Amino acid sequence: MLKKLFGLDKKEEKQEKAEVKMPEADGKDVLVAPLTGQALPLSEVPDPTFAEKMMGDGVAIKPTEGTVVAPVHAEVMQVFPTKHAVGLKTVNGAEILIHIGIETVNMQGEGFESFVKEGDKVAPGDKLITFDMDLVNEKAESTITPIIITNGDEAGELKKEENIDVSRGETTILTITK
């Protein structure tokens, strides 16, 4: 009870995440879906910044539930203060942005909960963020979530899986080969 009262139970949980064993860099990153839903081409994202690949290439997912998990072994580089986006870096150096919904920054974190912080090491399937789908549908433009490789010039070749149903933590959506 005292652990819960003083938040010590959360500290222990965070320490467990920090002990994730990172695989050796091998030049290839295989990303699984961070959300359950339908994988779509970026061209279907209702925001030109993502649709026209101004931030980088990748895929988008139209989610059917509000849980975002790690798509690959990575280090958390940034959790946006509004918790609507998270930046990851893989052992092979690929930088990944998961941007939950469109125009969700305006929600100022309402309906979002983060389970990681900068510097955490994560494995595929580890919970990153949860969000209230109904609230996002009500207050933002879209729930469609772009998964962007922001350093694509350095990352290498991308093989994308689009127009398929995906399950978080299971279905491969991107393969990056240096």
Active site amino acids? 99
Q: What is the DSSP string of 49-72?
A: HHHTTSS-EEEEEEESSSEEE-SS
**Beta carbons of 73 and 23 less than 8 angstroms apart:** yes
Q: What is the distance between the alpha carbons of residues 63 and 37, in angstroms, rounded to a whole number?
A: 4
What single DSSP character describes residue 38?
E
Cα angle: 145, vertex 54, 36; to 5 degrees = 15
DSSP 8-state secondary structure symbol assigned to residue 21: P
Tell me how far apart the alpha carbons of residues 23 and 121 are, in angstroms, rounded to a whole number: 11
The two tokens of residue 63 are 């989610």
